[in-house]
Amino acid sequence: MGQIQQSVDPIVRTEGLSFARGDRVIFDKVNIEIPRGKITAIMGPSGCGKTTLLRLITGQLTPQAGTIFVDNEEVPKLSRTKLFELRKRMSMLFQSGALLTDLTVFENVAFPLKEHTELSDEAIRTLVLMKLEAVGLRGARGLMPSELSGGMARRVALARSIALDPMMILYDEPFTGQDPISMGVLVRLIKLMNDAMNMTSVVVSHDVKETLSIADYVYILSAGKVVGKGTPESLHNAGSKWVKQFLNALPDGPVHFHYPADEFANDLISGGRS
């Protein structure tokens, strides 16, 4: 109960994925399958490699071992040209929004259409207004990024990310720094866009409640491994100490509150030597 059947042909698949930075292991033979047409959440404590996984999916980083497939293409083996073609079918919503500060809202959303299509100005205008209407900001098309609130900027970035009708959107901490109203709007928009456009969404987030409210499937990462996976319902009923600590925001557990150190009493009597 509580499990969903994983796609026979997942849109993203990692096989024995291993990646390290120096002596620090981030992924150790990790296997992940992201189903098509669903919202998959990637969660875990800070530094566990969530954003690194997004960079591996988009080919910004190359694994030291194992591999990663996106839409049946082996990303690490793609030529530069083919990787760019694959990236055109993916979109990424950055934590900062990453709007171009010298362009208006309209121009920001139009930018990928002008760069990657040969559509007429009239067709681009129609598409931009449609995307801005979808996120509720058609009336703000003439504003500059500096005139937007944080929540509005994130919504403009979302409109830009769907401009080319991608097969998949990668969200990197989309709810960070948002007030409750803006967060609620973004949660609803991610779900609405995914269903209406028949896309796949991968959401990296620390916000447990909001993310689990829309996720179809969840992976929880820690210490280089997948420590939990399943539907939100199944994870809440899981017996894993890792999963329990993360979902319930417990200060101590497999992820320790205290950084490794000598006994406190010994430290106190060491005469101030560090």
The DSSP result for 136-199, as a single string, is T-GGGTT--GGGS-HHHHHHHHHHHHTTT--SEEEEESTTTT--HHHHHHHHHHHHHHHHHTT-
Return the SS3 of 242: helix
Determine the pLDDT at residue 239: 65
Determine the pLDDT at residue 40: 96
DSSP per-residue string spanning 41-70: EEE-STTSSHHHHHHHHTTSS--SEEEEEE
Residues of the chain short of pLDDT 50, as ranges, are 1-5
Determine the pLDDT at residue 262: 75
Determine the pLDDT at residue 143: 95
Residue with tokens 């399958």: 33
CATH superfamily of 1-81+209-274: P-loop containing nucleotide triphosphate hydrolases (3.40.50.300)
- Tokens describing residue 253: 């557990």
pTM (two decimals): 0.83
CB 4 within 8 A of CB 219: no
Determine the pLDDT at residue 2: 45
